[in-house]
Amino acid sequence: MAKHSAAGINLSAFGVDRRPMLAVATDVGDGVITVNLSSMQAFGGKVKQMDTLDDLFARWRKDLLELPRPIAVDVPLDWQGLGAREVGNAARYVWQLTHRPLDFAFYHDAPLTDRIGAFNLRFAELLQRSSFKAGSDFIEVSPAACVEFFDFRGSYKGGKAHQSKKGGWKADDSTVSADRAFAKVTLELGLNMENTLEGKLDSADFDAVCCALTALALVSGRPTVKGAELSQVLTERCARRMTLEPQDLGVKTPAPQNAHALAQPYWQAVLITRV
């Protein structure tokens, strides 16, 4: 049986704290997924306002072309009218001016805010100017949605954990709730660091890995949450965040096109190697 591979990049990390991470996941059989995790070099360094888009996109495109498809990213591919709402689709709530339903439902940063907004617009421009296609070359993934579908509670964002020599995961700082939540996620999802004496992982690394695992599910024919099913989840979660019943929300909550999430893990173990 042919081995399937797919890539994931936590592009939402661009310009925030460090360069994005690249995860390439391969299904090697018997429930085992191997993941090579590395810094996404193409997205490193500063981008100046005076840089030409042709030069910038040439750097980005070169590394992207070498990756297995689809490439899962955690930034918008479908903007759903943000910044230019259609006539007859007026906003009812303040959050609709800055957030898509997916962003509001899972507490994402607003796609157009500050540094991540600058990157999102550049990435959207790259897609418009290239032969890359949303759906076949790129899909959108919300790692936070996947974690909630796995029935974890508490925010893991910003969390850090390390794996002991015996294989267990511990929070880097047991007094930090995000570290505790992240340690639980890594332990229960069967993540293992393969090439370090005491493996360290943080939530940004995990987001890249989660993106790759979702893309791998898609390319290998495993089910994902998308379309109408995801839209129903967004309705329920948006209403819950606003302490409303879903029928009282009063706005449509369509899922972004080409957005996918995992409903449950499909592996026994994930073996991560830093390269």
Spatial separation of the C-alpha atoms in residues 92 and 57, rounded to whole Å = 37
The confidence band for 271, taking pLDDT boundaries of 50, 70 and 90, is: very high
C-alpha R_g of the chain: 19
Confidence category of residue 13, pLDDT binned at 50, 70, 90: confident
Q: Give the three-class secondary structure for 80.
A: coil
Query: Which of these ranges, 123-127, 230-234, 255-259, has the smallest mean pLDDT?
Result: 123-127
Which of 57-61, 80-84, 148-152, 194-198 has the least mean pLDDT?
Answer: 194-198
Q: Which helix (H) or strand (E) holds 34?
A: strand 32-39
Exposed e or buried b per residue across 50-81, where buried means at least 16 C-beta atoms within 10 angstroms of its C-beta:
eeeeeebbebbeeebeebbbbbbbbbbbbebe
pLDDT of residue 142: 96
Contact 37, 201 (CB under 8 A): no
What pairs with residue 270 in β-bridges? 33, 191
Q: Which amino acid is at 219?
A: V
| Predicted pLDDT at 41 | 80
Share above pLDDT 70 across residues of the chain, in percent, rounded to a whole number: 92
Residue 236, burial from CB neighbour count under 10 angstroms (0-12, 13-18, 19+): middle
Span 15-22, average pLDDT: 72
Sheet of strand 259-260: strand arrangement: 191-193, 269-274, 32-39, 21-29, 5-9, 71-73, 138-141, 259-260
Distances (CA, A) of 130 to 53, 58, 206: 12, 10, 28
What integer pLDDT is reported at residue 53 of this predicted model?
93
**Per-residue pLDDT at 89:** 63
Report pTM: 0.92
Cβ-based neighbour number of residue 268 at 10 Å = 10
Whole-number average pLDDT of the chain: 90
In this structure, of 45-54, 88-97, 100-109, the range with the lowest mean pLDDT score is 88-97
